[in-house]
Chains A and B, each alone.
Chain A
Amino acid sequence: MSKRDTVQFEGHKFLKQRLVLSILSQRPVRIIKIRPDDENPGLRDYEITLLRLLEKATNGSKFEISHTGTSVLLRPGMITGGRIEMECPVSRAIGYYLEALVALAPFGKEQMTAVLHGITMNNTDLSVDTIRTATLVNYRNFGIEEGVELKITKRGAPPKGGGEVRFMCPVVRSVKPLNFVDQGKIRRIRGIAYATRVSPQTANRIVEAARGELNRFIPDIYIYTDVYKGAESGLSPGFGLSLVAESTTGALMTAELCANPGDAPEDVGRDAAKMLLNEIVRGGCFDSSHQWMALLMMVLGPEHVSRTRIGKLTPFTIQYLRDIREFFNITFKIKPDPETNTITMTCLGSGFTNVGKKTT
């Protein structure tokens, strides 16, 4: 099979990861049967926006969408980076688009500065807080540290949004191989309780409830309250909590919860804390939300063996592993560790080099 053979998939699921993997592997992808039997067949507004975003982030990419929108062909171009500004529809949070940029931005031609407008947190996608405090921090495991920044200039709660974030990421020529198997023990917990267009006391009530759950395990807990008012608070009221537990070896476990209409702040705080505890029990050096990132960066690493430990594979990760094999022809060695109920993942990197980065 030649390297440029088109990879074909069916269905709308995992669309984002397949498009991203296509760009990184430089292999065209055709996705067919996108909601063909749906009342409203074809791509959704957020998927169209994602395609637009990928078009802006790359140069030379060609997207072919069928008349009905039920099939997409992407012939990937080079990742350029640079300045991108995008109005994101409120059907998905900004995190949906940021995840794609997080995977692509380090391998662009120039530093990426993306300004995205929309919803900053919901219960479907990663919130911008988790991306700032965990996803981008996880970059450091792969040698990407200087110049990574995510600034939340406005918060935007669902349904109307109105938030704004600025994401900056430097470019690298290659990422470091990973050897991270010691998950360590949790040494501290940090969090952000945010509230927009509601009483400032809401954030304090969330913090109290979360601390009530977590304090019996560890004393080193600090949950910031982040209350937005006026123009910075977006168009809708909302509140939620994002938690990060850090281990002695630098592993980050995250959990977050955004309030649905009618939810009490105490419930949000308590449930988010329980979700964090569940994530900690799951174990591993990367939490369930960041398994994909670790695996992707391992694949994009140099031709050395990369190794890490993760907790139970999520369905998303299982599919991610299959898609990685499709695009990069790389199979992970998966070794369970029954003692800790974790899994050691090992692979040989693809030797990916960012040829677009200028060498000075």
Chain B
Amino acid sequence: MEDSDSDNDSDDDDLLQRVDNISSSDEDLDDSEADNAEDEIVERLAPIHLGAKRVNLMDVVYGDASAATKGSSKSKAKTSAFGGADADDVDEDNVKSLAFTDDIDDRQLYRYFITGADRSDGEDDE
């Protein structure tokens, strides 16, 4: 993408400027440029969200296996869409997960469990 309002012709300077723009707060930026940078980030991140329509898990898993096994930043970002670490982060070939989060809402959990009303055989808990 071109940087229209920069007088500096150097690509490196452009890049630095853009990085500054992305990382700094809104007050330092021209509004339109900030919007563009933000749009670009959103565009890049959108496919990694599982719920997004544009995500193609086939590409994520099979698309660029060589890059993924070499641990490119691109593949790392993509595999994080699955909620796990990148495959390269697995030190050994263990399948067991010891991770857990306390953030799960109880109400969210209840829907995974059978309740008295769910029992078709009449064995109510009550």
A217, B113: Cβ atoms under 8 Å?
Answer: yes
Q: Is A126 an interface residue (CB 8 A)?
A: yes
A335, B57: Cβ atoms under 8 Å?
Answer: yes
A278–B96 CA distance with the chains assembled, in angstroms: 13
Which of A10-18, A79-87, A111-119, A227-235 binds B? A10-18
- Which residues from chain A contact B91 at a C-beta distance below 8 Å? 13
Q: Is B58 an interface residue (CB 8 A)?
A: yes
B100, A319: Cβ atoms under 8 Å?
Answer: no
A313, B114: Cβ atoms under 8 Å?
Answer: no
A96–B92 CA distance with the chains assembled, in angstroms: 11
Q: What string of 1s and 0s marks CB contacts (under 8 Å) between A216-229 and chain B?
A: 11110000000000
- Which residues from chain A contact B98 at a C-beta distance below 8 Å? 123, 257, 275
Q: Nearest Cβ distance between residue B76 and chain A, in whole angstroms? A: 10
Q: Is A55 an interface residue (CB 8 A)?
A: no
Q: In B77-126, which residues have CB < 8 Å from any A CB?
A: 79, 82-102, 104, 106, 108-114, 118, 125
A322, B109: Cβ atoms under 8 Å?
Answer: no
Cβ-defined partner of B95 (8 Å) among A281, A289, A313, A336: A289
- Which residues from chain A contact B87 at a C-beta distance below 8 Å? 315-316, 318-319
Given A257-B98, A274-B100, A316-B90; A321-B62 close (CB under 8 Å): yes
B96, A125: Cβ atoms under 8 Å?
Answer: yes
- Which residues from chain A contact B84 at a C-beta distance below 8 Å? 312-315, 318
Given A218-B114, A313-B82; A126-B62 close (CB under 8 Å): no
User: Interface on chain B toward A: helix, strand, loop, or mixed SS?
Assistant: loop
A292, B95: Cβ atoms under 8 Å?
Answer: yes
B109, A17: Cβ atoms under 8 Å?
Answer: no
Given A17-B93, A99-B95, A313-B61; A271-B100 close (CB under 8 Å): yes
Q: In A281-307, which residues have CB < 8 Å from any B CB?
A: 281-283, 288-292
CB nearest neighbor in B for A126: B96
Q: Is B22 an interface residue (CB 8 A)?
A: no
Q: Is B65 an interface residue (CB 8 A)?
A: yes
Q: What string of 1s and 0s marks CB contacts (under 8 Å) between A123-148 and chain B?
A: 11110000000000000000000000
- Which residues from chain B contact A125 at a C-beta distance below 8 Å? 94, 96
Q: What string of 1s and 0s marks CB contacts (under 8 Å) between A8-35 and chain B?
A: 0000011111000000000000000000
B109, A281: Cβ atoms under 8 Å?
Answer: yes
Q: Is A52 an interface residue (CB 8 A)?
A: no
Q: Is A165 an interface residue (CB 8 A)?
A: no
A49–B55 CA distance with the chains assembled, in angstroms: 42
Q: Is A59 an interface residue (CB 8 A)?
A: no
- Which residues from chain A contact B82 at a C-beta distance below 8 Å? 312-315, 318
CB pairs A–B below 8 angstroms (14 shown): A123-B96, A185-B113, A218-B113, A278-B99, A281-B108, A288-B95, A289-B97, A291-B95, A314-B82, A314-B95, A315-B79, A316-B93, A325-B62, A336-B51
Chain A contacts to B: CB under 8 angstroms: 13-17, 96, 99, 123-126, 185-187, 216-219, 248, 256-257, 271, 274-275, 277-283, 288-292, 312-316, 318-319, 321-322, 325, 331-336, 338, 341, 343
Can you add 18 more A-B contacts, CB < 8 Å, to A313-B84, A316-B94, A322-B68? Answer: A13-B91, A123-B96, A124-B92, A275-B98, A281-B104, A281-B108, A281-B109, A290-B95, A291-B95, A312-B82, A315-B85, A318-B68, A318-B87, A331-B58, A333-B58, A338-B51, A341-B50, A341-B51
